[in-house]
Amino acid sequence: MPKAPRGTFDILPQEHIYWKYVEGKATSLCQLYGYQPLSTPIFEDAQLFIKTVAGGTDIVDKEMYVFADKSGQELALRAEGTAPVCRAYIEHGLFNLPQPVKLYYIGPAFRYERPQAGRYRQHHQFGFEALGEADPALDAEVIEMARRFFDSLGLSRLSIHLNSIGCKLCRPGYLEVLRQHYSGYIDHLCPDCKARLVRNPLRLLDCKKTSCQEIAKTAPKITDYLCPECQLHFQSVQKYLGAMNIPFHLNPRLVRGLDYYTRTVFEVEPREKGGQSTLGGGGRYDDLIESLGGKPTPAVGFAAGLERIILNLKKQKTDIPALPEPDAFIAYMGEEAKIEALKIASELRKAGIAVIMATGDKSLRGQLRQANSLGIAYALILGKQELSKRSIMLRDMSSREQKIIPLAEIAKILKP
């Protein structure tokens, strides 16, 4: 019997209350800040991620779902959301619009990871991106927007960690110093970090192994090696965040798992940390669009994982509004009443009243039991007697009170 693939899951109806809640808050937030929706395909040319997220990252080296289609083209399931947005920005000439262009997306991402709580092979991201502007005020606004998103969800006890990882001018100098630091510890590094030392030294700071973290603690800080422009940019981001009263922690070891970032990087973490705790992260990626063949275009964005948000909503026992329930359940006795009930159900739905109609050959008791288990407030019961009088029985399912009402009045009573 086939099952959902490892690391994936079905979202059952009772879970959707959380999903609708989070998606609703995400779309209202984007409206508030002037971001417009963009949907990109679930699969892309694999080179899109290879060129941007880049070799030397776990995502590209180990986790991408890559396959050749029947024409032999190498495709990849969407590994993350930013590179596709940038591809679309170039492909549709969005650089011709007034800048910055502000876009958001909600959709699945695929990574072949070791599944555990909060880490899946298919997960969903809500992300927003502002393209075409280098102003540090935009970095601060994106961080404030991320913060407002979590506030609007009712999630508390979160911290924002902030760093700058410089630009292509100042970072190479820092990487050399970092390499020198780690060279003294080669024998103590995990096999992955030994490879990182050669291919992608910045990622050394992000290793989760305790022994490697010890070495990272004494590593030189990138913020001591920023060029004057990056320093000024970083100071301005902090000044603007201060002006907006957004608390943050400076974390000179924060580097993020994707290679395209420049200057500002930030992550949102619950205060009580766990293995897979990061709720969202983002930053500036001033070279990404150019690396895809576009003109040099500064940009900044953020993405959060919906599954982890929902785990935290449950952990924090956040109150989630219920989804609207059907207004009434229609029960009937006999074939003649069933035909009339079908007509009534159709009329009520036309009037915008949500009804569930009994089906099959259940007894009246069985039908009412079904209404009860669906949690519906009212049942409309149609029998021979009611039919002959062009009326129907309205039953309050919790008080069990019943009264006969004319057919013509049902809609008004259910939706005054």
- For ligand AMP, the binding residues (CB under 6 A) are 80, 111, 113, 118-120, 123, 125, 257, 278-281, 303-305, 307-308
Helix 306-315 × helix 13-33 angle, to 10°: 110
Please report which helix (H) or strand (E) contains residue 414, including its range.
Answer: helix 410-414
Smallest distance from ligand AMP to CB 253, Å = 16
Q: How far is the CB of 314 from ligand AMP (least distance, A)?
A: 15
Of 196 and 308, nearer to ligand AMP (C-beta) is 308
Q: How far is the CB of 56 from ligand AMP (least distance, A)?
A: 15
> 257 and 64 in contact (C-beta within 8 Å)?
no
Shortest approach of ligand AMP to residue 334 CB, angstroms? 53
What six digits make up the tokens of 122? 């298919």
Least Å distance, CB 291 to ligand AMP, is 17
Please state the separation of Cα 217 from the chain's center in Å: 31
Nearer to ligand AMP, 312 or 370 (CB): 312
Cα(57)–Cα(75) distance, integer angstroms: 18
Packed helices 136-153 and 306-315: angle between N→C axes, nearest 10 degrees? 50
In the complex, what is the shortest distance from the CB of residue 63 to ligand AMP, in angstroms, rounded to a whole number? 8
Q: Which is nearer to ligand AMP, 161 or 181 (CB)?
A: 161
Contacts 24+ apart (CB under 8 A), 294-299: 294/86, 294/89, 294/90, 294/95, 295/95, 297/89, 297/95, 297/131, 297/132, 298/132, 298/133, 298/134, 299/86, 299/100, 299/129, 299/130, 299/131, 299/132, 299/133
DSSP 8-state class, residue 85? H
Q: Which is nearer to ligand AMP, 66 or 393 (CB)?
A: 66
Nearer to ligand AMP by C-beta: 147 or 395?
Answer: 147
Q: Which residue is nearest to ligand AMP (CB)?
A: 305
Between 9 and 95, whose beta carbon lies closer to ligand AMP? 9
Residues 6 or more apart from 387 whose CB is under 8 A from it?
336, 337, 340
User: Residue 142 — φ and ψ, nearest 5°?
Assistant: -65, -40
Closest Cα to residue 130, out of 118, 142, 147?
142
CA distance linking residue 138 with residue 134, whole number of Å: 7
DSSP state of 119: B
Q: Cis before residue 100, ω within 30 degrees of 0? A: yes
Rank residues 166 and 301 by Cβ distance to ligand AMP and give the closer one: 301
Q: How far is the CB of 362 from ligand AMP (least distance, A)?
A: 42
Based on CB atoms, which residue is closest to ligand AMP, 84 or 281? 281
Query: Residue 234 CB, nearest distance to ligand AMP (Å)?
Result: 20
